[in-house]
Amino acid sequence: MNRYRYTIDAMHCQGCVKRMREAIQAEDTDAEVSGAPAEKRLEVTSTLSDTRIQALLADAGYPADEAVSKRSAAARSLTVPGMNCQGCVKRMREAIQAEDADAEVSGAPAEKRLDVTSTLSDTRIQALLADAGYPPQDTPTIADGAEGNSDQHFSEAPAQTIAKGHGRDETDINGIESDSSDTSPMQRFSISGMTCAGCVNAVQKALARTPGVQRAQVNFASETAQVSGSASSEALVAAVKSAGYGAQPIENLREATAQRQQNAASQMRRHAIESAVSLSLGIPMMLAMFFHTPRFAGAERIVWLVLGLATLGVLATAGRRFFDGAWKAARHHQANMDTLIALGSAAAWLYSMAVLLLPSAIPEGARHLYFEASLMIVGLIGLGQTLELRARGRTSQALSRLLDLQSATARVIRGEADQERETEVDIEAVEVGDRIRVRPGERLPVDGEIETGDSYLDESMLTGEPEPVHKRPGDRVSAGTVNGRGSLIYRTTQVGDDTQLGRIVDQVSRAQESRPPIGALADRVSAIFVPSVMIAAVVTALIWLNVGPAPQMIHMLVAATTVLIIACPCALGLATPISTMIGIGKAAEYGILIRSGEALQTASRLTTLVVDKTGTLTEGKPKVTDARYWQDESLAKSVAVALERDSEHPLATALLAYLGDDTTPSKIRDFESLTGRGVRATLADGRVALLGNAALMREQEIDIATAEREAIQWQSQAASLIHLAVDGQFAALYGVRDALRHDSREAIQRLHDAGLKVVMLSGDGQAAADAIAREAGIDDVRAELMPGDKQAAIQALQARGERVGMVGDGINDAPALAQAEVGFAIGQGTDVAIESAGITLMRNSLHGVGDAIAISRATLTNIKQNLWGAFGYNSLGIPIAAGILYPFTGMLLSPMIAALAMSLSSVTVVSNANRLRFFRPDAGRRDKTEFQAEETSA
Answer whether residue 163 shows pLDDT above 60.
no
Integer Cα distance of 139 and 151 in angstroms:
11
Residues in the chain: 938
Whether the per-residue pLDDT at 540 is higher than 80: the answer is yes
pLDDT at 706 over 80: yes
Average pLDDT over residues 480-500: 87
- Nearest Cα neighbor of 579 from 436, 395, 363, 849 is 395
Task: Identify the CA nearest to 748 among candidates 855, 650, 611.
Answer: 611
Tell whether the model's pLDDT for residue 173 goes beyond 70: no
Query: With 80 as the cut, is the pLDDT of residue 710 above it?
Result: yes
Q: How far is it between the farthest Cα atoms of the chain?
A: 123
pLDDT for the residue 750: 92
Mean pLDDT value across residues 463-486: 83
Position 934 confidence tier, pLDDT thresholds 50, 70, 90: very low
More confident residue, 170 or 461: 461
Instruction: Please give the Cα distance from 140 to 113 (Å, whole number).
Output: 10
The yes-or-no verdict on residue 857 having pLDDT over 90 is: yes
- Which pLDDT score is estimated for 63? 85
Query: CA-CA distance, 382 to 663, in Å (whole number)?
Result: 79
612 an active-site residue?
Answer: yes
The burial of 794, by beta-carbon neighbours within 10 Å (0-12 exposed, 13-18 middle, 19 or more buried), is given as: buried
What's the rounded Cα separation, in Å, for the pair 394 and 264? 11
pLDDT band at residue 244, thresholds of 50, 70 and 90? confident
Q: What is the pLDDT of residue 879?
A: 94
User: How many Å apart are CA 491 and CA 498, to the nearest integer?
Assistant: 15
Residues 461-485: what's their mean pLDDT?
82
pLDDT of residue 168: 32
For residue 168, give the 3-state DSSP assignment.
Answer: strand
Nearest 5°: phi and psi at 450? -70, 135
Predicted confidence (pLDDT) at residue 797 exceeds the cutoff of 80: yes
Nearest to 529 by CA among 335, 361, 709, 719: 335
pLDDT at 713: 87
Instruction: Report whether pLDDT(928) > 50.
Output: no
- What pLDDT does residue 630 have? 93
Which pLDDT tens digit goes with each residue over 185-212?
678 898 988 887 778 888 988 898 888 8
For residue 829, the model assigns a pLDDT of: 45
744-764 confidence digits (pLDDT tens): 889 999 999 999 999 998 877
Catalytic option among 182, 612, 764, 770: 612
Q: Which of 451, 449, 519, 510 is nearest to 478 (CA)?
A: 449
Predicted confidence band at 931 (pLDDT cuts at 50, 70, 90)? very low
Computed over every residue of the chain, the mean pLDDT equals 81
pLDDT of residue 464: 60
DSSP letter string, 190-240: EEES--SHHHHHHHHHHHHTSTTEEEEEEETTTTEEEEEES--HHHHHHHH
pLDDT at residue number 544: 92
Q: What is the pLDDT of residues 117-158, one digit of tens each?
A: 887 777 788 888 887 778 887 555 544 433 333 333 233 223
Phi/psi of residue 5, nearest 5 degrees: -130, 135
- What pLDDT digit, counting tens, does each position of 377-430 carry? 888 888 887 877 776 666 566 667 777 777 888 999 987 766 778 888 988 888
Whether residue 562 is predicted with pLDDT greater than 60 in this model: the reply is: yes
pTM of the model: 0.64
- Whether residue 827 is predicted with pLDDT greater than 80 in this model: the reply is no
Helix (H) or strand (E) holding 473: none
C-alpha distances (whole Å) from 269 to each of 266, 322, 549, 562, 786 are 5, 17, 44, 27, 63
Give the tens place of pLDDT for each residue, 662-689.
Answer: 788 888 888 887 777 888 999 988 999 9
Residue 876 has pLDDT above 80, yes or no: yes
Q: Give the per-residue pLDDT at 836.
A: 56
Q: What angle do CA 312, 314, 315 make, to 5 degrees?
A: 65
DSSP 281: H
Give every strand in the sheet of 729-737, ordered side by side.
623-629, 729-737, 719-726, 688-692, 678-683, 668-674
Q: Where are any strands of DSSP class E within 530-649?
A: 592-594, 608-612, 623-629
Examine the pLDDT at 347 and tell me if it is beyond 50: yes
Min mean pLDDT across 168-177, 690-699, 795-804 is at 168-177
